[in-house]
Structure 1
Amino acid sequence: MTTNRGLMTAVAVPLLLLGACARPGVAGEAGSPGSAAPVTESTTTTPTIALRVEYRGGFVPAETIPSRIPLFTVYTDGRAITEGPVTLIYPGPALPNLQEIKLSAAQVRELTDAAVAAGVRSGSDFGTPGVADIPSTRISVVTAGGEQSVEVMALSEARPDDASLSPAQQAARKKLSEFVKSLHDLFADAASPAAQPYQAEKVAVLASPYQDTGDGAGGDPVTWPAAELPGAFLNQDLRINCLTVEGAAKDKVLALAKQASERTPWESAGKKWQIRFRPLLPDEKQCADLRRQA
């Protein structure tokens, strides 16, 4: 059986025990949405985002938030990246299954126009449903009038008869949900175009002290092959450290991680560490870029 780990997070959140509250409402810069900005090849070292869909907050383990991967990211140069399905086993694989497709300039423009038409306009009213502890969905799109973004709590989880939502808010949510589903369909259609594994230039390694649960699921420790763990603090309160690997060091790490699980203990400098691997996306260059997930 396979599933998408990003989607699985949304389904499983009521069962998880530690988290940060989702922030309901609307976020983003002001500006007239108009139509999407013209699509051009990026001339800078950091690619420009045309469209991004991501979860924020939710009743999830706080230590997992920095490693959370956006549901969809589309760049102005046509690259589109999402997390593909993974085998539903415990413990799960150590590495996420990131997939990339290449879109034409016309397809990118169609997607950004469709996002605006679906309600991604700063100030849009999606209401606040009578549910708690569910992640909000943040969608941002670049338009001729600047970046437009919305953040909608429990976009797909709110009940159709939720008394906290007006008929107009329910209709707006339905329209936006259908747009997000169209993005899933885009990646699911292997013929248009075929998805390929995303090859990250850098991988962030989020390390915390290993906690032995006593179930033996982690297996034997693996010797860490790169710079000494755990790296610098990303979140001192949660004891999450981070470092990045690239080049030959990254290749060594990934070769071992492909044979490991998310519960595998990694040994470095005489200590054991729990690791979450987070391939950096084209617009991310360092560990600090993951703080935006909080």
Structure 2
Amino acid sequence: MTRTRGLLTAAAVPLILMAGCAQPGEAGSAADPIAESAPVQDSTVLVRISQEGGFVPAGYAYGRLPDVTVYADGRVISNGPVPAIAPGPALPNLQMIKITPERARKWADDAVAAGVKTGADLGLPGVADIPDTVITATSAGKTQMVRVMALHQALPNDPKLSAVQQSARKKLAAFADDLTAFAESGSPAPTAWQPASLAALAQPYVAADDGLKQVAQDWPGPALPGAELSTGAGLHCLAVSGAEKDAVLAAAAKANLRTPWKSGGKQWQVTFRPLLPDETGGCAALKGAR
């Protein structure tokens, strides 16, 4: 069984910690990773669908990746399926489809046609603690954005939403579903994607009361925890690239989400956050995470 790494509700967090353990390496990817070892031609974001907010831990909020990103040079990077095991693999399964720049621009045009327009009235449904779906699109030289609470979770007869708002939300949901489906199984087939740089989000390790034994691993990169990322949350960030990144990725591929990492005489909980092509500047790219 697989699932797509995306929305993580408050209820899902303890389930991950309490469910039975399996070895992440058993899932493996059939495709070889595509390494970004050279500068790309155009990393302008034309379309991005992401989740923000919701009742989630700080490490998850800063570490979550956009659902789908379409770049001007035709790369479409998305979250691929991961095993439905707990603890899950330490590394996300990022996949890429390469399309033409013309098709990439068409996706942006389609987003605007579906209602991605800054200031659009999409209402506030009667739900709580659900992340917002944020969709941005750059078409005809203009970037627009919508933020939709509970895009897929709101009831079709929610009394807090007008018929016009329901219709607008339905169009946006259809577009988001179409792009996500294309990214997951479109043509050409998706291949594994490996970033040029990686952020390690570290906080002091706290053993879970789930009866599962986790074996501490030696941290293969620069000393943890790195610079403070979130004031008061105890969350730090360390960015690696080049040979250091390769060493960290190799070790993380054998670990799970709850693996303790030993560095500087302490143990750390680490969330691995690949930095996307437009996310330059290392950890600074994650400062605005919500």
Instruction: Give the TM-score taking structure 1 as reference length.
Output: 0.86
CA drift of 1:259 comes to 0.8
| Aligned residue in 1 for 2:65 | 69
State the SS of the aligned residue for 1:187.
helix
Distance 1:217 1:15 in 2: 17
Distance 2:10 2:51 in 1: 12
| Aligned residue in 1 for 2:194 | 199
Residue 150 of structure 2 is aligned to residue 154 of structure 1: yes
Residue 80 of structure 2 is aligned to residue 84 of structure 1: yes
Amino acid at match of 2:240: V
State the SS of the aligned residue for 1:6.
coil
**Matched length:** 265
Residue 228 of structure 2 is aligned to residue 220 of structure 1: no
| Aligned residue in 2 for 1:4 | 4
| Aligned residue in 2 for 1:22 | none
Q: Is the 8 A contact 1:218 1:265 kept in 2?
A: no
Map residues 9-158 of structure 1 onto 2, 5 A cutoff. Answer: 9=8, 12-13=9-10, 47-144=43-140, 146-158=142-154
| Aligned residue in 2 for 1:281 | 276
CA drift of 1:46 comes to 7.2
**RMSD, aligned CA:** 1.8
Q: 1:79 to 1:206 in 2, by over 3 A?
A: same
CA drift of 1:236 comes to 2.6
Long gaps (5+) in structure 2: 15-38
Of 248, 254, 257, the residue aligned with 2:243 is 248
Q: 1:142 to 1:279 in 2, by over 3 A?
A: same
Long gaps (5+) in structure 1: 18-42
Distance 1:149 1:119 in 2: 9
CA drift of 1:263 comes to 0.2
Distance 1:140 1:60 in 2: 22
Of 136, 154, 165, the residue aligned with 1:169 is 165
State the SS of the aligned residue for 2:157.
coil
Residues 117-162 of structure 1: per-residue CA shift (max 9 Å, x gap): 1000112111111111111111011122521110010000000110
Q: Is the 8 A contact 1:91 1:217 kept in 2?
A: no
Residue 224 of structure 2 is aligned to residue 229 of structure 1: yes
State the SS of the aligned residue for 2:3.
strand
Identity, % of aligned pairs?
Answer: 49
| Aligned residue in 1 for 2:179 | 183
Distance 2:270 2:198 in 1: 12
State the SS of the aligned residue for 2:59.
helix
